[in-house]
Structure 1
């Protein structure tokens, strides 16, 4: 077999060092801020729940804090505990009938169940005649810094000025509920109910319509951590179960690999092993005979062009132009998929879009209001652009 020359050995070692440096740079590079909805106890991103989860021992001193990684049906299949709190915080909660049955049984037994969610669907909502709606203010400016205040019905819990949040983050309220069974615990500065208590058997359900108010972002904003602790103080001091099952984008089972990634030393050992295996494959598979000629696949120049244009917009920081183009492509999507003439009167277009796509007319109207508003603005921030993208993606993910 042909021996590597000294020059080839040096080149191979140099490539290995460069590859190792690149891997280390990728590992230790500061992550970009993630604005996705998480609501997980493991996430310290703005809309995660790490800080709220860590505050539970102070809210329930001396009591056991348990994390549920499975559905309520599986978690409670053996035995329903007594004197226990259950906390569910998520953007949407659509529990299966089997899960709803065990939750109702848990409440009947005297337990307390707290649910903060923009919408609760299905059997659970029907049981308590709950209906959620987004607040659509006439003067709503998607890119403004207007705020909405939260208050407790119990005046002793209020701080005098209320607890204030951005409008677009806290726009859901209860438009209907069984008034004969419900106790109103909180409302916003418009008088819309957003926090209620329902007695069921010997226990209680607590429903809050604004889960984003219970995230890291608001825990560190102004004095809103007080609102979180006061809302959760309605739960008695007893053992508490924290839900990790109804979380977007997270696995529902905690395994060995999750433990490895949460532990700093084990995480570093895992990366070192991974780099070693990759290096072994990279250098151990080197051919010593004449290499086989490589036939390159045709290059997709259109992707290169798109990448170049994207970098140009990124360096220019022209968020408004990107938002306008997103809205233009959205209109083209409506014309292509649903054959809608978007040049007609806006109210007529909104009605046709809602009817053909299956998305609520309120949601479509809000999206058109945001898109038309772009023509009046000179610039927007990156956060505004990201929120606008989320609104359009919500339509794409829910249209028929």
Structure 2
């Protein structure tokens, strides 16, 4: 009996050790992968698509959407469809890929894109801009603190708030073409409701853009917010659904788009980096050209005293540029804006409340919504200890547009 007891105890002990050692640490990375059952994978929404789109044909793409539509013999090219993509970004969607997608939308199809980052090409084509106040937040601990409330504008939803308890970046739409765009949903930021879900008419079709793809992941679908996802997808018409989990390269891509891993291709996909590449190349060429000349002893030139105010200003601006002190520049832009408001519109800028915004909009001739965005951005940037280059550029453009009205 004692031997049997020891054997049983040994088996139980071994079972406990195996149980403890087999536990895997939870993966909190925002991977958006359809095969991932981790919190921020898209396994559930991918596998429950048939229930979300009842009675609709659903095709899970394993190749580039453009190639599938034009190469597959089973596809009825005259039949309208809904293209769906939920990712953090669309880095693999090149310039020709954006043109291909939008050309299909133009013919009457629909595209639903839920992304954290939209490419410059897509923003330029659809005439909208976004701002992500938490784009520099990456750690699990800091992302866990980001909570949010979303609203759907349709009266059927009774302005009901949908609450999300983590990883909700303050990512919203800043500007859009009011003639072609309808705001379908908003996110609450600093007490203001700002667009995060919009519908853009493009030709005969429509593009739906959502700035918070995280709400479609496993974690939130198991937290009681599945109604929000159902309501968002309810805006799509009852067409065939092409679900694109991984955006593949197209065999019809231009030669310049085929090697997406090329560093030069990466530079050419972004306008600012493209200009940096051109200017750097031109500077290097000029340097080599002038240094190739035979050098001779320089003849000193004695110049008269001159006004160095411009040079001093250039030196100070170069110092700011070198130090990358965006927060300091943002504070100065804000101070300049408030001073101009005081002198031009004779308004007290000590309290930036709702009454101030209404008076400022009335006196300046700007829309109350645009004025709200500007003052909200100023308050947010003023309180924060740091400011990114993109946020500084957005602030500058908003101030310029405000005074050019």
Q: 1:227-376, aligned counterparts within 5 Å? A: 227-246=228-247, 352-353=323-324
Deviation (angstroms), 1:230: 0.4
Structure 1 partner of 2:85? 88
Deviation (angstroms), 1:32: 2.0
CA offset digits 1:320-346 (Å, max 9, x no partner): xxxxxxxxxxxxxxxxxxxxxxxxxxx
Name the SS for the 1:169 alignment partner: coil
Deviation (angstroms), 1:57: 0.9
CA offset digits 1:256-310 (Å, max 9, x no partner): xxxxxxxxxxxxxxxxxxxxxxxxxxxxxxxxxxxxxxxxxxxxxxxxxxxxxxx
Deviation (angstroms), 1:145: 4.4
Asked whether the equivalents of residues 40 and 244 of structure 1 are also in contact (C-alpha less than 8 Å), the reply is yes
Name the SS for the 2:99 alignment partner: helix
Structure 2 partner of 1:120? 118
Deviation (angstroms), 1:203: 1.4
Deviation (angstroms), 1:155: 2.6
Confirm whether residue 29 of structure 1 aligns to residue 22 of structure 2: yes
Distance 2:95 2:227 in 1: 35
Distance 1:216 1:81 in 2: 35
Q: For the aligned residues, what is the CA RMSD?
A: 3.6
After alignment, is 179-188 or 52-61 more displaced?
52-61
Distance 2:115 2:169 in 1: 11
The 1:203–1:84 alpha-carbon spacing in structure 2 relative to 1, beyond 3 Å, is: same
Deviation (angstroms), 1:90: 0.7
Distance 2:234 2:143 in 1: 34
Asked whether the equivalents of residues 89 and 115 of structure 2 are also in contact (C-alpha less than 8 Å), the reply is yes
**Equivalent residue pairs, number:** 234
Structure 1 partner of 2:213? 211
Distance 1:31 1:158 in 2: 42
Deviation (angstroms), 1:192: 0.8
The 1:57–1:204 alpha-carbon spacing in structure 2 relative to 1, beyond 3 Å, is: same
Task: Structure 1 unaligned segments of length 5 or more: list them.
Answer: 1-20, 253-347, 356-361, 371-400
Asked whether the equivalents of residues 109 and 201 of structure 1 are also in contact (C-alpha less than 8 Å), the reply is yes
Name the SS for the 1:98 alignment partner: helix
Distance 1:213 1:351 in 2: 39
TM-score by length of 1: 0.52
Asked whether the equivalents of residues 117 and 208 of structure 1 are also in contact (C-alpha less than 8 Å), the reply is yes
The 1:55–1:143 alpha-carbon spacing in structure 2 relative to 1, beyond 3 Å, is: closer
Deviation (angstroms), 1:39: 1.2
Structure 2 partner of 1:200? 202
Structure 1 partner of 2:63? 70
Asked whether the equivalents of residues 151 and 158 of structure 1 are also in contact (C-alpha less than 8 Å), the reply is no
Task: Structure 2 unaligned segments of length 5 or more: list them.
Answer: 1-13, 135-140, 251-318, 327-376, 387-405
Distance 2:50 2:150 in 1: 25
Which of residues 129, 134, 139 in structure 2 aligns to 1:131? Answer: 129
Confirm whether residue 156 of structure 1 aligns to residue 156 of structure 2: yes
Distance 1:69 1:130 in 2: 30
Asked whether the equivalents of residues 114 and 207 of structure 1 are also in contact (C-alpha less than 8 Å), the reply is yes
CA offset digits 1:62-81 (Å, max 9, x no partner): 22221123333433343756
The 1:31–1:142 alpha-carbon spacing in structure 2 relative to 1, beyond 3 Å, is: closer
The 1:91–1:81 alpha-carbon spacing in structure 2 relative to 1, beyond 3 Å, is: farther
TM-score by length of 2: 0.51
Asked whether the equivalents of residues 213 and 228 of structure 1 are also in contact (C-alpha less than 8 Å), the reply is yes
Name the SS for the 1:76 alignment partner: helix
Distance 1:115 1:48 in 2: 16
Moved over 6 A (4+): 348-351
Distance 2:98 2:78 in 1: 16
Confirm whether residue 165 of structure 1 aligns to residue 167 of structure 2: no
Name the SS for the 1:119 alignment partner: coil
Structure 1 partner of 2:225? 224
CA offset digits 1:5-31 (Å, max 9, x no partner): xxxxxxxxxxxxxxxx9xxx79x9343
Asked whether the equivalents of residues 170 and 213 of structure 1 are also in contact (C-alpha less than 8 Å), the reply is no
Asked whether the equivalents of residues 40 and 50 of structure 1 are also in contact (C-alpha less than 8 Å), the reply is yes
Distance 1:58 1:183 in 2: 27
CA offset digits 1:206-247 (Å, max 9, x no partner): 0000011111111112x3111011001111223211112249
Distance 1:187 1:132 in 2: 13
The 1:30–1:350 alpha-carbon spacing in structure 2 relative to 1, beyond 3 Å, is: farther
Asked whether the equivalents of residues 147 and 165 of structure 2 are also in contact (C-alpha less than 8 Å), the reply is yes
Structure 2 partner of 1:102? 100
